[in-house]
Amino acid sequence: MGAELIGEQIVCSSTVCPAILIAAPASGQGKTTVACALARLHARQGRKVRVFKCGPDFLDPYWHALASAAPVHQLDLWMTGELDCRARLAAAAQDADLIIVEGVMGLFDGEPSAAELAQRFGLPVLAVIDASAMAGTFGALAFGLQHYRPGLRWAGVLANRVASERHADMLQSSVREPAQWLGAVMRNPAMSLPERHLGLTVASEVNDALQRLDVAADALAATPLGQMSLADLKRWNVSFEVGNDAGAEPSGVKPLAGRTVAIARDAAFCFIYAANLDCLQDLGAELVYFSPLADSALPECDAVWLPGGYPELHAARLAANTSLRDSLAAHVAQHKPVWAECGGMMVLFDELVAVDGQRHAQWGLLPGTVTMQKRLAALGPQQLAMHGHVLRGHTFHYSTCTTPLAARCRTARPDCEPLPDAGEAVYQVGSIRGSYFHAWFASSPAATAALFASTSTSTGAVE
């Protein structure tokens, strides 16, 4: 297999591999189920499958990784960048039998959209349509998706949540080009993927997760899509190329060499891009992990990363872990850096108020109260300027915080200047930096290094 780490130079000629982008007219159509079913179906047959997720998503990749038994990375023309996308796809193509990319929202939604990604890399598009409440309109919708954007390579259409064989026949007859029909998947609760307020439930928390994927794979196996052989898949061959400088770090400097970064990782803190871990290691850091739910103290470390997750689902248990709270406070007292993202920041405040009004004391390292909301409080791409560099990422949260702290700075939307009353606040108290902003570390290794650098070599300032 070719080089996987994007921080290193990758030199290769074009590599051809079957690839497909699984899209839909909207969210909730069953893209993830179909993507996982297709990956699981081929992985069970001993084939090497690599799955990617379009856009900034932490949750779907847990299911993709379970289905494919391989690492899953994000592709986003803005957040991760075209060179990063190209390098990851090219590296995967050198070893994979099939590459699957799951789109985000509807095919043409967002900026950049899944359609733009597909067109940029020549990925054929498979449209998954929830057909549970339609018949003849299915064909019109499929036709519109195929022809709305000129030059989009098309793989076909799959009907999802179909009621019966007769229903499937009606749907198939509505498709103008018979060769575009890739089958119907019947409605079956046994293959549904459970959800909660931030999206899918993490696969590791679902006892029968693999069984659900096997049911979905079995259902897909009965369709023309599921019956395609490796030879059939070659109709979706894509030539992936990457230049000598794609994703390269020309200096080769490892500013975190000799430093240990402790990362919270458990059911409460699980929003971690695999590429972020790769980036920290590329910068020279040694990574160790701890569980704020179960561990009584931090491991020996020079810096701490508290990623996002679901502290609101574990607020009482986190509040009770006063020994870990004290260990973290001692870490801060030694002026060692802490970067806290979204859920990782929430637990640092004095108090968390649940949707039902129940109040939970938290760790009290930042003054203020976090309050859960019934509706989404913020969503979208964001960027953070620091130390003359720019970190790209996104925001996605259901809580708000009330604090006497003034924002040290704020994030901004793409191609916009930070505004005093817009973007996500970045709070700083001593060596703690916290924000609702989720960073894609590889977008600026230099800024990432500054987040975890020693306070003796960093001013500690965000700007």
Report the C-alpha gap between 193 and 128 in whole angstroms.
16
Report the C-alpha gap between 209 and 194 in whole angstroms.
9
CA distances from 295 to 99, 119, 286, 298 (A): 38, 47, 19, 7
Q: Which two tokens stand for residue 153?
A: 């390579």
Report the C-alpha gap between 22 and 241 in whole angstroms.
21
Sheet harboring 399-402: ordered strands across?
A: 359-361, 349-353, 366-372, 399-402
Active site residue 36: no
Q: What share of the chain is helix, strand, coil (3-state, %, to 5)?
A: 30, 30, 40
Report the C-alpha gap between 422 and 118 in whole angstroms.
32
- The neighbouring-strand residues paired with 397 are 378
Q: Which residues contact 406 (CB under 8 A, 6 or more apart)?
A: none
Of 342, 401, 409, 416, the catalytic one is 342
How many angstroms from the chain centroid is the CA of residue 167?
A: 35
Q: Which two tokens stand for residue 347?
A: 């637990």
Report the C-alpha gap between 93 and 313 in whole angstroms.
39
First to last CA, the chain: 40
* 3 state SS of 128: strand
Q: Which residues are catalytic?
A: 342
